[in-house]
Amino acid sequence: MFKEFKQFAMKGNVLDLAVGMIIGAAFTSIVKGLVDNILGPILGLITGGVNLTYMKIVLSGEGEAAVTMNIGLFIQSVINFILVAFSVFLLVKAIRSMEKKEEAKPVDPPAPPKSEILLEEIRDLLKK
């Protein structure tokens, strides 16, 4: 059972998936930092100094016990998602573009083996 699991876990596609997940998590934190620290303040300036992080609708109560809908945090999450999805789209598009370039390169036919060349020379000599 352990041997089968080891074979499964060591397949290339499983390892690629694991690496992709780790890189994706790291990339998500970069995008979150971009949205929180760069785009958020710019958007706040555009909206007249409103910080989206604190934008919320109070449903009931006051202070710490208030029940709220945190619209600003949701908007930031949507922006994060759009940026990550767009970045992944660009990455996939670039990879496919490189794959097409590799396919488009003309491949020179391989040189015939020496035995074939010798046989052709013998044939040509016999024709004379």
The predicted pLDDT at position 117 comes to 87
The predicted pLDDT at position 107 comes to 73
The predicted pLDDT at position 20 comes to 81
The predicted pLDDT at position 57 comes to 87
HEC letters along 28-53: HHHHHHHHHHHHHHHHHHHCCCCCHH
Per-residue pLDDT in tens (0 to 9) along the chain, 128 residues: 778 777 766 666 777 778 888 888 888 888 888 877 887 778 778 878 777 778 888 888 887 888 889 888 888 888 878 888 888 788 888 888 888 777 767 777 888 888 888 888 889 888 87
The predicted pLDDT at position 9 comes to 66
Both tokens assigned to 120: 């052709």
Which CATH topology does 2-127 take?
1.10.1200
Q: What's the predicted TM-score (pTM) here? A: 0.54
User: Burial letters for 25-50: b for 16+ Cβ neighbours within 10 Å, e otherwise?
Assistant: eebeeebbeebeeebbeebbeeeeee
The predicted pLDDT at position 33 comes to 84
